[in-house]
Amino acid sequence: MNEKQQALLIESASRFPPPQGVKLSYGTSGFRADASILSSTVFRVGILAALRSIKTKSVIGLMITASHNQVSDNGIKIADPTGGMLTQDWEPFADAIANAIDPKDFIQLITEFVKKEDIPIGGVQSAEIYLGRDTRPSGEVLLEAAKQGISSVVGAVAIDMGILTTPQLHWMVRRKNMGMKVSESSYFEQLSNSFRCLVDLIPKEDTVTSKVDEKLIVDGSNGVGGEKLEELKKLVDGLIIEVRNTGKEGEGILNERVGADFVQKEKVAPLGFSSNDVGIRLVSYLHVHTHRQCVLRSLDGDADRLVYFHIPSICNMKIDLVDGDKILSLYSLFIMEQLRALSKKENSGMIADYSVKLGVVQTAYANGASTEYLKQLGLDIVFTPTGVKYLHEKAAEYDIGIYFEANGHGTILFSEHCISWLESRTNEVSSTSKGSEQHKAALRLLAISNLINQAVGDALSGLLLAEAILLHKGWSIKRWATLYQDLPSRQLKVKVADRTAVTTANAETVVVKPSGLQEAINSETAKFPLGRSFIRPSGTEDVIRIYAEASTQEAADTLAESVAEHAKCFLGLNKS
């Protein structure tokens, strides 16, 4: 690093002094905290993004958002060249520069890092960073801090993509680095065209009408997702979409008793929904007259999570939840059906010449009933530690990898080889095989690969895919919900002085330290039918998280409390 570059970094950093007494850690959600103390952190992440762009010779993304957090919070996270999250190898450097108090230490950290990574800065190199932000009031100030950080690296250029959902920015970064057209309109076009393709491939002989009179009522969390869904719905034929909690002035507060995170955790309807949303409607499609309860959907603050729910009773606003595990099961079932159709030899002679490796990735928090259902389908199920970065990395090992967390965050990944093979199945067909079930199955899978956001979980694309599958199968939400019955579960947390006192293995399902605790957990679990429990240290705070499930809610509660007591005992928390 030459003297000019060093002087520029020092001068720029002086305008963004770090907050005293605050230590931040870069995780799955990037850096996240009260917006009032984040300017220095965002400035420094701007520098990191520029370095990452130079290192990879690719466009990098910076998203300013705090997702489902309260409106006073904000955050910053990086989209890597693939559109995925920042490589874990760079997370320690992110932590180091964000928390460096002394300016000399700050510059020294950068100097040593660029030397170790062989990153040529201060010369003629170039870097390009896409910037996005959600609708939080603090976003504009933090956007300027990010721009200042980027511009403090010689040759780095910040491109403001405007107000976006987090998945939109990740999608744009991925597309740009694939050499493709990038704009918000191209995002909307790809989603709407792919959805239309899937709907057009519904067997015509079973269709009463091409237009379904089912209204989708969507909770937009008073965030950017509601705003963008209002735009997307204008392009989507065959669906009538009503967006509530759009975030318009005076309508409500971002993430305050609204959104996917609130609905999934509290299991009550969000604000903006009332007893008027309880009831039965008659929907007619696919030659089936189905009595459907009022079906509702909820996005989270930056539109990367999606859950479904309905309100079964006027007595209270408790809901029946269809969470990420059920979304995963719906996607998996439909994709398996298409792959099975591809493997069948028809009169045309067309037959699959390649065995697609399909895998499903879950964490230990997935409800045990969902895992058992997926196993019964014959799927390959693997587990990873909690965190999207682990799930995404594992899913990428398959030809088609599907992952979802119960909170509604997940996606489907298609390998390049798989997409090329599917394209060959649709392009190299004879006149006799065109229009066959095999041909249609390949077209459906290609449409799914275009509709789903392969960079990151995306509530908007996920919503359209779920709706297309439900239309294809002629299912109500009630039919969908009965794929399996969730096992009752309970989650607790125990506050500790040092969360590193507990270490785990086997995707966080087995306690390694303290010695003997896992045996105690096993002994408790064996007392309950269908019992399962694990503990894990939090990734963000000094607490130990306990999860338990069993055949009844009472048993799950008792198991969780017993395991919590064992954890306290082994950690010495019961000592007077």
Q: How far apart are CA 453 and CA 332, in angstroms?
A: 16
Residue 102: which of 41, 34, 20, 32 has the closest Cα? Answer: 20
Residue bearing the bigger pLDDT, 210 or 419: 419
Residue bearing the bigger pLDDT, 525 or 298: 525
Q: Is 136 annotated as a binding residue?
A: no
Q: Is 300 annotated as a binding residue?
A: yes
Position 143 confidence tier, pLDDT thresholds 50, 70, 90: very high
Position 64 confidence tier, pLDDT thresholds 50, 70, 90: very high
What is the average pLDDT score of the chain? Answer: 90
417-440 pLDDT per residue, tens: 999 999 998 886 554 567 788 999
Which amino acid is it at 104? K
| 3 state DSSP class of 28 | coil
Q: How far are the Cα atoms of 76, 101, 107, 163, 218 from residue 21, in angstroms, in the given order?
A: 20, 10, 20, 32, 41
The DSSP secondary structure of 428-443, one letter per residue, reads S--TTTTTSHHHHHHH
Query: Catalytic one among 67, 152, 533, 562?
Result: 67
Residues paired with 545 in a beta bridge: 493, 536
Helices (H), 307-408: 324-343, 368-376, 388-395
Mean pLDDT lowest for which of 9-23, 50-64, 160-174, 245-259? 245-259
Q: Is 538 annotated as a binding residue?
A: yes
Model pLDDT, residue 91: 96
Q: For residue 412, how many other CB atoms are within 10 A of its CB?
A: 26
Position 240 confidence tier, pLDDT thresholds 50, 70, 90: confident
120: region left, alpha or beta (phi > 0 left; psi from -120 to 50 alpha):
beta
Which amino acid is it at 445? L
Which amino acid is it at 483? L
**In the chain, % of residues over pLDDT 70:** 91
Q: Is 407 annotated as a binding residue?
A: yes
Q: Is 140 annotated as a binding residue?
A: no
| Torsional sign, CA 478, 481, 482, 488 | negative
Q: Is 536 annotated as a binding residue?
A: yes
| 3 state DSSP class of 509 | coil
Domain regions of the chain by residue span: 3-180, 189-322, 325-481, 489-570
Q: Is 91 annotated as a binding residue?
A: no
Q: Residue 135 pLDDT more than 90?
A: yes
Mean pLDDT lowest for which of 71-75, 142-146, 153-157, 260-264? 260-264
Residue 138 is among the residues annotated as catalytic for this protein: no
CATH class of residue range 189-322? alpha beta
CATH number of 325-481: 3.40.120
Q: Residue 289 pLDDT more than 50?
A: no
Residue recorded with tokens 């269908």:
530
Same fold, 189-322 and 489-570: no
Q: Mention every residue, 6+ apart, whose C-beta is less than 8 A from residue 507.
A: 363, 364, 383, 384, 385
Position 316 confidence tier, pLDDT thresholds 50, 70, 90: low
Q: Judge contact between 286 and 207, C-beta under 8 A.
A: yes
77-113 pLDDT per residue, tens: 999 999 999 999 999 999 999 999 998 999 999 999 9
Q: Distance from first CA to last CA of the chain, Å, rounded? A: 56
Q: Is 67 annotated as a binding residue?
A: yes
Q: How far apart are CA 556 and CA 277, in angstroms?
A: 31
Model pLDDT, residue 558: 98
Q: What is the DSSP letter of 425?
A: H
Q: How far are the Cα atoms of 22, 332, 488, 564 from residue 495, in angstroms, in the given order?
A: 20, 38, 24, 11
Q: Residue 285 pLDDT more than 90?
A: no
Model pLDDT, residue 292: 40
Position 352 confidence tier, pLDDT thresholds 50, 70, 90: low
**In the chain, % of residues over pLDDT 90:** 74
Phi, psi of 499 (to 5 degrees): -65, -20
Model pLDDT, residue 80: 98
Average pLDDT of span 32-45: 97
CATH class of residue range 3-180? alpha beta
Q: How far apart are CA 434 and CA 438, in angstroms?
A: 9
Model pLDDT, residue 575: 63
What would be the CATH architecture of the domain defined by 489-570? 2-Layer Sandwich (3.30)
Q: Is 95 annotated as a binding residue?
A: no
Q: How far apart are CA 285 and CA 90, in angstroms?
A: 51
Mean pLDDT lowest for which of 14-18, 109-113, 366-370, 476-480? 476-480
